[in-house]
Amino acid sequence: MFNFPILSLLIWIPILVGLFLVISNNLSNKLSEYLTLIITFLVLLLSLSLTNNYDQSLSQLQFIERIEWINGLNIFYYLAADGISVSLILLTAFINFLIAIYASSETYKNKSAYLGYFLILEGLLMGTFTAFDSILFYIFFESLLIPLFLIIGIWGGKNRKYATIKFFLYTLFGSVLMLIAIIYLSTLAGSFAIRDFYLLNLSFEEELFILLAFLIGFGIKIPMWPVHTWLPDAHVEAPTSGSVILASVLLKVGGYGMIRFMLPITTEAGIFLSEYMIYLSLIAIIYISFVAYAQTDMKKLIAYSSVAHMGFVTLGIFLVFHLLGNNLNAAVIGLEGAIIQMISHGLISAALFFCIGIIYKHSKSRLLKDNYGVVTFMPLFSFLMLFFLMANSGLPGTSGFVGEFLVITSALGSNIIIGFLAAISLLLSASYSLKLGKNVLFGENTQNIQGYKECTINEKFVLGVLVIFILYLGLTPDYLFKIIDHTTINLIDSINLGRT
């Protein structure tokens, strides 16, 4: 089979080059841009070859690298990938490549360090999605905060201090609880490997506390209502590419963790609490959509819409608990819907944050009232942005629809009321997405005091590629289904077997 350590390369190439860029202060802007572009492209190629070599018909872990790391404590450098990891690795590599292309239309002081942090972030994300040793996972998971903290803290907007501290403390709080849970589990299992945790026989009380720790840890990351308030602030202060990576990949770490840890380890407690967790997801979908409608800042609007869309991810995951034992097919549909929703939201939110960045570049304002009539001066851009907004509102034919459709189907498999409440999102997401389009893109604007100008070639490329992939996933997502299908079915089956 495949003998060369592709996962390690995916992690360490971007991290090392990123460190080099951060340290070498006097690298010229052009050079650092090219270097970033080359590295991200290389990583993209690597992850494509990973996908190509991934055997979809197998459900076990692949590309395993397992080396003893800290002898006495039984901690391993244990990397591997399954279908869920592969799909998220592809998303990470793809989004980072687009960020590297987009980089030349941003102007920042000390650009080489800026891009360096993005490369480090990319490597750490790859690590998070492939680590199968819980300590290794925790280290990657935790260190994700550092580059993003610096990106927002150094290159952010006016109010960046408040936003970064809030963001940092919020997520740190959650992950500390998670660390406690991991250490507790490892003392019981005598090993730090995540897969060994699955075999543990926990008492109900133990499960309940571990579930809560994970729920808070990953729930803050994803983020779930009511621990979502760090996200809009962080987005507003972050530079464009920072928002892109935050919304499109970093939030997915939360969903990934829930699938990897919560579903198999704390099944019984999950079933016990599933109803309440589903309510939380529904609140995220409906209430946050209302809040999104009230926003006057474009970035905040999309940030809230991200929370609402991640509500579908958590709903799909928690529905598994609800459906175990009575409708396994619907459970599989729900979980696959959640994963596809993560990938799709990764593309759509990235596209929207790029669009907002482009508008901001011209008008120097992100407020709805300062931007109007863009279509007169940027017809192509407006066409693309309207497309992304439509995708955001779950238009069929775009990827935004597929995940929501599957999750709603799964919800109807358990209870029609849950399905109905989730389906209201169809109306709400259209109302806030198109409100943005109505106010910003359309309307009369003869003066052009904002100085709108049609996109540059690299912006066109970035948005165009995103359009193609959103359409591809919306029309023939079969390939993505194939990647995740066996992993999902196997996961649900093993959870179900573990119960009986």
Binding site for other proteins (CB under 8 A): 166, 169-170, 226, 229, 287, 290-291, 293-295, 329-330, 332-333, 336, 373, 375-376, 390, 395-397, 401-402, 405, 408-413, 416-417, 419-420, 423-424, 426-427, 430-431, 434-435, 438, 441-445, 475-478, 481-482, 485-486, 489
Q: How many CA atoms lie within 13 A of 348 on its CB side?
A: 34
Question: Which of left, alpha, beta for 453 (phi over 0: left; psi -120 to 50: alpha)?
Answer: beta
> Least Å distance between CB 397 and other proteins?
6
Beta-bridged to residue 380, according to DSSP, are: none
> Least Å distance between CB 461 and other proteins?
17
Tokens of 372: 């109007």
Q: Which is nearer to other proteins, 272 or 481 (CB)?
A: 481
> Least Å distance between CB 289 and other proteins?
9
Q: Which is nearer to other proteins, 157 or 396 (CB)?
A: 396
> Least Å distance between CB 299 and other proteins?
15
Question: 239-261 b/e with 16+ CB inside 10 Å = b?
Answer: bbbbbbbbbbbbbbbbbbbbbbb
Q: Which is nearer to other proteins, 138 or 225 (CB)?
A: 225
The residue type of 262 is: M
> Least Å distance between CB 495 and other proteins?
16
The count of residues in the chain is 500
CA angle, 23 then 24 then 28, to 5°: 140
| SS3 state of residue 453 | coil
CA 294 to chain CA mean position, Å = 24
Cα distances (angstroms) measured from residue 65 to each of 60, 136, 294: 14, 13, 49
Q: Which is nearer to other proteins, 159 or 329 (CB)?
A: 329
Q: Which is nearer to other proteins, 48 or 434 (CB)?
A: 434
> Least Å distance between CB 36 and other proteins?
32
Contacts of 405 (CB under 8 A, 6+ apart): 337, 396
> Least Å distance between CB 379 and other proteins?
8
What does DSSP assign to residue 57? Answer: T
